[in-house]
Structure 1
Amino acid sequence: MASIRSRNKRLIVDFYYMGKRCRETTNLIDTPANRKKLESIILNMEAEIRLGIFNYAKYFPKSDKAAEMVALNDRKECINTNVPSFKQFATLWFSEKEIEWRDTYKRKIQEIIDMYLLPEFGTKAIHVIKKTDVLAFRSSLAKVTYGKANKHLSAARINSIMVPLGMILKEAAKRYKFDNPYYDIKALKQPKTDIQPLTLEEVWTFINGVREDYRHYYLVRFFTGMRTSEIDGLTWDNVDFNRREIVIKQALVKGKIVPPKTQESYRAIQMSPWVYEALKEQQEISYRRSDYVFCSHTGEPLDYNNVNKRIWHPTLKVLRLKKRNAYQTRHTAATLWLAAGESPEWIASQMGHSTTKMLFNTYSRYVPNMTRQDGSAFEALVNRSQITQACTDKETSK
């Protein structure tokens, strides 16, 4: 049974929990009224201990022993129920799933598990995790900051952290027959992708103003819509001058050649005359030096962070073009193709999209500004119809 002691005029609770003696100093001054108050609290504590629902951290949140006792309780729960801890099951789940993933995705999931999920849920028996725990964890992610500017995690980043948590809990719930605590938790709403394509005039301004040894690189980016990882990983064996095609079947991610982002990303991009000429000229420069179409002076593939810092952003600044990220070259290709009236199905295939839905959702709002139609095509159609009808009526009245 717990007892009350006093030290330095502060009341202390002396009790046993999980076979260990615990002595916790309270904020209560040693007075008869506070002793009576503490006796009531102790009665609740002892009842919860007997029922197996005692939460050490709830009663003593600042205690050095709180984390230790929570971990002990979690291990006891795992032993008594023969259900693994979150860490044990997450390790098993990862070992079973990794065969389905490419290396970059495996690293991403492992990083999320190690950095975010295990510190929060690691020692808990997986079946005792409640929906309230999951929602509280997600709320805590919104308070995380990073970098010198102390930026908060974006909704997209929080969603990406929550995805493996949901997958782990769903699989565990099926195997150990408990209600999935992730059920019915929706992803956070994400703001639409910030699209800032360049106009055709701005494209040529950039190409003509960029450093000469990067002119071909950016011309190909602007007129093919290739992702950064695709153009940086492009090798000469995937450039077919006879068919005038660039074959996308690999990408460069964190210095390693990996498969493309999605199944639809495997594709053949048609070379426009400008792209064909640029690649022909580039062949004279780098073909004998490297397997990579665009490479450093040592023949190594380009480091996109270095290129962005040394070439992309300084060039925008010197040419007084609006600041934007280099991925806008891909968005620019899509909007220029749409503005030119190319088939949406063809554009989707060139971009590596499975359908035209993403194409219209992402880019269509920019087309009127570039074509300067803004509904005038429909107006012209109606006007032509009215003129034709008027001529018909006139002929009829004769």
Structure 2
Amino acid sequence: MASIRVRKGSNKLFVDFRFMGIRCREITNLVDTPANRKKLEKIIEKMEAELTLGIFDYAKYFPKSDKAQEMVALRDRRACIETDMPAFKEFAALWFSEKEIEWRDTYKRKIQDIIDMYLLPYFASKPLDTIKKTDVLAFRASLAKVTYGKVKKHLSAARINSIMVPLGMILKEAAKRYKFDNPYEDIKSLKQPKVDIQPFTLDEVRRFIEGVREDYRNYYLVRFFTGMRTSEVDGLTWENIDFDRREIVIKQALVKGKIVPPKTQESYRAIAMSPWVYEALQDQYKVTYKRSDYVFCAHTGSPLDYNNVNKQVWHPTLRLLGLKTRNAYQTRHTAATLWLAAGESPEWIASQMGHSTTKMLFNTYSRYVPNMTRRDGSAFEALVNQSQIAQRSTDKETSQ
């Protein structure tokens, strides 16, 4: 039987009861008065009924208790022993060990981080078959309240969906092995806002190339006119530059300081060099070829740190030129939209971007799609040659 007692020195009521054979004492905020004792007695009646039925939720009654997590974990461990059902933490570790052979290192780290940071704190000790759909939905709702950074931003729908993916995979596999209903079934991903692309106009590209630091001019010229991802251009090495065929071969990327395979199978590709990209890489060859394996590198020869480049070059240049603030990934979107504006074939553009089909191209850039007839990059060359960005080549020819 639970009893009501008074804490010495504070005159606050506390509840003295037993849960799973363990004596528990939980303080309340109620001062010892007849009215408060009567109020607490009603709560205790409900507690005792739930204790008898085996459905008592410790954390529900005492959410701020230091003992709540400990008691919940103890209850879950006993449930696992009694039913021979593994806890979520145990099975998640097994699942990860079986799946990691399929993944590249960067994806392994991503999944392990999600498990450690989000899934285990919520589900760790729960027996797998006790996790219900309501638990999964409550977990997802809790993610919407998570904040990060100095400005306390909330997790985006895309980030929440990415966290839910491994949870769904773990529960699906567990349900299959241990023959219980999958609690994740029929739970749909959150709707994500359409990708907000903010490509540069051709005039803005010209202004940026002319206004950026000289030692980064070739770097950004290549980014704007090849559509390469940041990880691809930062991981580009001289062995993958074919001046004879005028191609940039993409077969690796730089992710968190490590060279890894490209993002997808379709990302393995050869990008055609336009004349101004060819010229920029010829200039860069004179600067870094003997100093580093990387086409674009720091003064030490090590690969570029994109965070530093963004802080020290990209954003300051945008501010200096009065251009709209946007992330450097917009250089990739810019290449795609300029190719489309020039009338290049969508199949050719998709191959240059590393897309498997034109579907993503139309989904992302639909409002930039005119009637397209060309298929070899020449229409784009004609468009750019009409602008002042080709003036460098013209000036060189004049001086000779």
TM-score by length of 2: 0.88
Moved more, 43-52 or 57-66: 43-52
Measured against aligned partners, the alpha-carbon deviations of 1:297-354 in whole angstroms (never above 9, x if no partner) come to 1111111111111111111121222111111110011011111111100000000001
* 5+ long unaligned stretches in structure 1: 369-398
Q: Deviation of residue 367 (structure 1)?
A: 4.5
From 233, 239, 245, the equivalent of 1:243 is: 245
Q: Distance in 2 between matches of 1:310 and 1:204?
A: 20
| Partner residue in 2 for 1:141 | 143
From 322, 337, 340, the equivalent of 1:338 is: 340
Q: Mapping of 1:378-397 within 5 angstroms?
A: none
Q: Deviation of residue 172 (structure 1)?
A: 1.0
Equivalent pairs, count: 368
Specify the SS of the correspondent of 2:361: helix
Moved more, 343-352 or 176-185: 176-185
Specify the SS of the correspondent of 1:246: strand
Q: Deviation of residue 4 (structure 1)?
A: 3.7
Q: Deviation of residue 84 (structure 1)?
A: 1.1
Q: Distance in 1 between matches of 2:133 and 2:67?
A: 26
Q: Is the 8 A contact 1:12 1:23 kept in 2?
A: yes
Q: Which amino acid aligns with 1:135?
A: L
Q: Deviation of residue 32 (structure 1)?
A: 5.9
| Partner residue in 1 for 2:173 | 171
| Partner residue in 2 for 1:191 | 193
Moved more, 218-227 or 5-14: 5-14
Measured against aligned partners, the alpha-carbon deviations of 1:22-73 in whole angstroms (never above 9, x if no partner) come to 1233445556665565455444333322332211122222332211111110
| Partner residue in 2 for 1:388 | none
Q: Deviation of residue 7 (structure 1)?
A: 4.2
| Partner residue in 2 for 1:347 | 349
Q: Is the 8 A contact 1:344 1:356 kept in 2?
A: yes
From 155, 161, 180, the equivalent of 1:159 is: 161
RMSD of equivalent CA atoms: 1.7
1:49 and 2:51 correspond:
yes
| Partner residue in 1 for 2:221 | 219
Q: Deviation of residue 211 (structure 1)?
A: 1.1
Q: Mapping of 1:31-70 within 5 angstroms?
A: 38-70=40-72
Q: Which amino acid aligns with 1:265?
A: S
Q: Deviation of residue 206 (structure 1)?
A: 1.2
Q: Is the 8 A contact 1:335 1:364 kept in 2?
A: no
Q: Distance in 2 between matches of 1:118 and 1:264?
A: 34
Q: Deviation of residue 263 (structure 1)?
A: 0.7
Specify the SS of the correspondent of 1:68: helix
| Partner residue in 2 for 1:386 | none
* 5+ long unaligned stretches in structure 2: 371-400
| Partner residue in 2 for 1:380 | none
Q: Deviation of residue 292 (structure 1)?
A: 0.6
Q: Distance in 1 between matches of 2:77 and 2:186?
A: 28
| Partner residue in 2 for 1:93 | 95
Q: Distance in 1 between matches of 2:281 and 2:180?
A: 59
Structure of larger gyration radius: 1
| Partner residue in 2 for 1:2 | 2
Q: Distance in 1 between matches of 2:258 and 2:308?
A: 16
The verdict on how the C-alpha distance between 1:215 and 1:4 changes in structure 2, with shifts beyond 3 A counting, is closer
Q: Is the 8 A contact 1:11 1:25 kept in 2?
A: yes
| Partner residue in 1 for 2:388 | none
Q: Distance in 2 between matches of 1:291 and 1:39?
A: 76
Q: Distance in 1 between matches of 2:226 and 2:143?
A: 38
Q: Distance in 2 between matches of 1:47 and 1:307?
A: 63
| Partner residue in 1 for 2:386 | none
Moved more, 249-258 or 86-95: 86-95
| Partner residue in 2 for 1:274 | 276
Measured against aligned partners, the alpha-carbon deviations of 1:347-370 in whole angstroms (never above 9, x if no partner) come to 0000000110110111131346xx
Q: Distance in 2 between matches of 1:297 and 1:56?
A: 59
Q: Which amino acid aligns with 1:271?
A: M
From 255, 261, 270, the equivalent of 1:253 is: 255
Q: Distance in 1 between matches of 2:316 and 2:369?
A: 28
From 22, 25, 29, the equivalent of 1:23 is: 25
| Partner residue in 1 for 2:210 | 208
The verdict on how the C-alpha distance between 1:4 and 1:315 changes in structure 2, with shifts beyond 3 A counting, is closer
| Partner residue in 2 for 1:284 | 286
The verdict on how the C-alpha distance between 1:27 and 1:275 changes in structure 2, with shifts beyond 3 A counting, is closer
Specify the SS of the correspondent of 1:301: coil
Q: Deviation of residue 240 (structure 1)?
A: 0.9
Q: Is the 8 A contact 1:241 1:276 kept in 2?
A: yes
| Partner residue in 1 for 2:110 | 108
Q: Deviation of residue 201 (structure 1)?
A: 1.5
The verdict on how the C-alpha distance between 1:10 and 1:159 changes in structure 2, with shifts beyond 3 A counting, is same
Q: Distance in 2 between matches of 1:27 and 1:313?
A: 52
Q: Which amino acid aligns with 1:2?
A: A
The verdict on how the C-alpha distance between 1:203 and 1:45 changes in structure 2, with shifts beyond 3 A counting, is same
Specify the SS of the correspondent of 1:166: helix
The verdict on how the C-alpha distance between 1:10 and 1:313 changes in structure 2, with shifts beyond 3 A counting, is closer
Q: Distance in 1 between matches of 2:14 and 2:297?
A: 69
Measured against aligned partners, the alpha-carbon deviations of 1:58-102 in whole angstroms (never above 9, x if no partner) come to 222233221111111011111111111111111111111111111
Specify the SS of the correspondent of 1:13: strand
Q: Distance in 2 between matches of 1:310 and 1:21?
A: 60
Q: Which amino acid aligns with 2:5?
A: R
| Partner residue in 1 for 2:396 | none
Q: Deviation of residue 3 (structure 1)?
A: 3.4
Q: Distance in 1 between matches of 2:212 and 2:33?
A: 79
Q: Distance in 1 between matches of 2:7 and 2:312?
A: 64
Q: Deviation of residue 247 (structure 1)?
A: 0.6
